[in-house]
């Protein structure tokens, strides 16, 4: 039995983004319990040249949203990177889940050999759909979710592998 492009994208994005919401909710509760200003964690970075927590979440949602849209041959909506609170970040994630969840399998399945053309400034890069998903989108998505998790864990939020992977 083969696995489809839809199966390795949309459900994976939705599951991990749902887990990220639960992780952020734990961070908010941690801040309230420990009397920590939430902006400390939202703006925290593991190293000076790394992005802060909020940017990690923004990039993870961008990866899911853009990756799904491009595979389906659609244009992704642009989100402003203005989130400054945990609630703002959760709202962004929910909007991403809603957008990604709106795609049907037939819109993405069969995109393995489809040309995905990405414009980055004056540069244009072309990928085949499967290579784009497996070598760019998914690794980038997981990298930024993992880094967001690591920032919170590093700052004492009680998180474990079960929070990252989810329970279902």
Is residue 2 predicted with pLDDT exceeding 90?
no
Calculate what percentage of the chain has a pLDDT beyond 70.
99
Q: What is the DSSP string of 50-115?
A: SPPHHHHHHHHHHHHHHHHHHHHT-PPPP------SHHHHHHHHHHHHHHHHT--HHHHTT-TTSE
For residue 139, the model assigns a pLDDT of: 98
pLDDT value for 61:
98
Q: Could you give phi then psi for residue 128, rounded to 5 degrees? A: -85, 145
Give the pLDDT confidence score for residue 1 in this predicted structure.
59
Predicted pLDDT at 167: 81
Query: Considering the entire predicted model, what is its pTM?
Result: 0.96
Burial class (CB in 10 A: 0-12, 13-18, 19+), 154: exposed
Pull the structure tokens for residue 100. 């990604």
Domains of the chain: 10-158 (1.20.120.450)
- pLDDT tens digits along 105-138: 999 999 999 999 988 889 999 999 999 999 999 9
Question: What is the overall mean pLDDT for the chain?
Answer: 96
Provide the pLDDT for residue 127. 96
User: What is the dihedral sign for C-alpha 18, 19, 20, 24?
Assistant: positive
Instruction: Using alpha carbons only, give the angle 47, 50, 54 rounded to the nearest 5 degrees.
Output: 110
What is the arithmetic mean of pLDDT over 89-108?
98
């Amino acid at each position: 039995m083969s696995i489809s492009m839809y199966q390795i994208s949309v459900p994976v994005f939705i599951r991990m983004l749902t887990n990220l919401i639960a992780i952020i909710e734990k961070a908010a509760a941690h801040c309230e319990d420990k009397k920590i200003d939430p902006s400390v964690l939202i703006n925290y970075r593991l190293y000076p040249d790394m992005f802060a927590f909020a940017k990690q979440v923004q990039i993870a949602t961008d990866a899911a949203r853009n990756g799904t849209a491009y595979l389906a041959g659609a244009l992704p909506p642009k989100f402003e990177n203005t989130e400054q609170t945990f609630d703002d970040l959760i709202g962004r994630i929910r909007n991403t889940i809603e957008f990604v969840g709106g795609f049907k399998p037939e819109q993405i399945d069969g995109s393995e050999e489809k040309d995905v053309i990405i414009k980055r400034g004056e540069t244009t890069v072309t990928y085949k759909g499967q290579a784009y998903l497996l070598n760019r989108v998914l690794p980038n998505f997981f990298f930024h979710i993992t880094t967001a998790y690591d920032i919170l864990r590093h700052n004492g939020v009680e998180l474990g592998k079960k929070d990252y992977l989810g329970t279902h």
